[in-house]
Chain A
Amino acid sequence: MCTSIIEIARAEGMAKRGDEWFPLSLAVVAYDHARHAPLGDVITLDFINITLDPGARAGIELTLETAKELRAALDRAIAAADFEEAEVRGKGAVLSLVRAAS
């Protein structure tokens, strides 16, 4: 690979290809030249299952700027979700969020 900027994370859930959903095993984040987007270098997100055929993949190419916006949106949604979890279940969340929810 031309850049060595790649991060691989476990992924539990499902992704869609065409009309079908498939179970995920990995989320791969990289920064490299775009394959499809009419851009130079991009953040690529691949949600895949390497135990299935290569088509078991939801691929995304994002500009660095909009990838940062996605990261911020994820952070906000995850913080809110942690808050919700704390409120509903009362445990398993960050202590400060549990206090905030009470």
Chain B
Amino acid sequence: MSFYRGMTCENVTIKGDQGTPITAYVAKPSGPGPFPGVVLIHHLPGWSEFYIETTRRFAHHGYLAICANLYERAGEGNPDDVAAKVRADGGIPDAQMVGDTEAAVKWMRAQPNHNGKVGLFGSCSGGRHAFIYACQKREVDACAELWGGRVVMGKEELNAKTPVAPIDMTKDLSCPLIGIFGNDDRAPSPEQVNQHEAELKKCGKTHEFHRYDGAGHGIWYWHRPLYRPEAAMDGWSKVLAFFGKHLAK
């Protein structure tokens, strides 16, 4: 019975941006497949337990799943400490994230029991990163952006690491997008989410945005006071339905 499906989990080394070896956590459902794939892009708090667990959760739901450590270059340590070091260094460059994520997508497409479809999943900074990747590359089939902050950016926020505001990439979005947002969030604010959606509509992009009252940032983070169980479970069902629709073959 698939509900009690087994899985295999391990760390693999992939060739990240500019050939730099980085570690990725992978979870593979038991059985012959073929399985659709989900590439997870971790959030600002780093390659954390939430992301490792969420990788396994996708495997539980029948997806090959991989989550690369985008902060590997900062060294080994507690995810919080590594994330703090990355923050002190001004974050990671968007281009490096694209290179690292491309490696994870390649790993996915090389799996013998992969069905050829890849979904992207990211929250917080990872939501922003997932959207950027789906705009810059044409090799993913669906994208889930959860409360991605700084999709809308002022000119004063642009720098060498984040040279282009993601909203300005919207015309290049290459796949359907699902967005999950809390109406009490301030990064992104409801106004920024509206701007994001207006640009998607203007560019004629397939998307569905779900906004939750009484919820702010990090709705699904079960270990934080931001957790909103009803909104989280509804959001999970929407994301799984979205991936089920776009990643089936």
Contacts and interface: CB of A to CB of B under 8 A. Distances in A.
A33 B77 contact: no
Contacts, number: 80
A6 B78 CA distance: 21
B165 to A, nearest CB: 12
Contacts of A15: none
B75 interface: yes
Interface stretch (B14-22, B32-40, B86-94, B171-179): B86-94
**6 closest Cβ pairs, A-B complex:** A2-B149, A54-B77, A54-B81, A54-B82, A2-B187, A3-B187
Interface in B127-158: 147, 149-150, 153, 157
Contact of A1 (B80, B150, B226): B150
B228 interface: no
Interface in A26-47: 26, 28, 30, 32-36, 38-41, 46
Contacts of A59: 80-81, 84
Give the size range of B's interface with the partner.
20 to 34
A36 B224 CA distance: 8
Most B CB within 10 A of own CB, among A53, A54, A59: A54
Nearest to A54: B77
Contacts of B89: 50
A54 B75 contact: yes
Given A39-B225, A54-B74, A33 B218 contact: yes
A1 B149 contact: yes
Contacts of B62: none
A72 interface: no
B12 to A, nearest CB: 22
Contact of B88 (A38, A41, A46, A55): A46
